[in-house]
Amino acid sequence: MTQSTFMKPINNKNFNPVADFYDWIETFLYALALVVLMFTFLFRFVTVDGESMTHTLKDKDYLIISDLDYKPKTGDIIVFDAMKYNGGVKPLIKRVIATEGQTVDIDFDTWQVYVDGVLLDEPYVRRETTGRMEDGDRADMYPITVDKNCVFVMGDNRNGSRDSRMSNVDQIDTRYILGRVLVRFFPFEAAGKVN
């Protein structure tokens, strides 16, 4: 039987375990540097802390966010730096209800939110079976127009959220937005795109 062209003998003359080890280390370091750069400039990891976005997001969900070329839109779920913005202790995760120049009006008795006179379709909102939506401390100020370079945000769990309805949060300056939520990667059974 003749030797197959696929079965060439191993040439051990070029085998150098030390050089191969250094090649492996070099490849690993390049990959690590790439991952660090990606998660420094393109993506960030965030953990949900609290129930303000229930049922869309749950406490201890792990998310990936990005601010790459991001311009806020109604319906986006964002993370903003409450520590820099209003003396909060942690970043907050909320849904954008309106952007600069838009007018927000809220009917706290019927749980309805209007933007520029149009009722928002909000199937994601966690509603209480009785009672009215929590109005914060600014119920008499509606309708309001969102300031330039700001967004009006609310949590999906309307009676369990500290958001733009409260004077200590108010409208969020877009400079403090850390990014838009892209995906949930843990828990694995709920992993995927977040809407």
* Lowest-confidence segment of 53-62, 73-82, 184-193 by average pLDDT: 184-193
Report if residue 61 sits inside a domain: yes
Report if residue 11 sits inside a domain: no
Statement: residue 140 has pLDDT above 70: yes
Report if residue 28 sits inside a domain: no
d(CA 22, CA 28): 10
pLDDT in tens, 58-110: 999 999 999 888 899 999 999 998 776 556 678 899 999 999 999 999 988 88
Report if residue 25 sits inside a domain: no
Domain count, the chain: 1
Report if residue 53 sits inside a domain: yes
Report if residue 4 sits inside a domain: no
| Contact by Cβ (8 Å): 69, 165 | no
Report if residue 13 sits inside a domain: no
Helix (H) or strand (E) holding 105: strand 103-107
User: What CATH number did the domain enclosing 152 receive?
Assistant: 2.10.109.10
Report if residue 137 sits inside a domain: yes
Domain that holds residue 123: 44-185
Q: Specify the DSSP class assigned to residue 157.
A: B
Statement: residue 13 has pLDDT above 70: no
d(CA 35, CA 32): 5
DSSP bridge partners of 150: 173
Count of C-beta atoms within a 10 Å radius of residue 29: 10
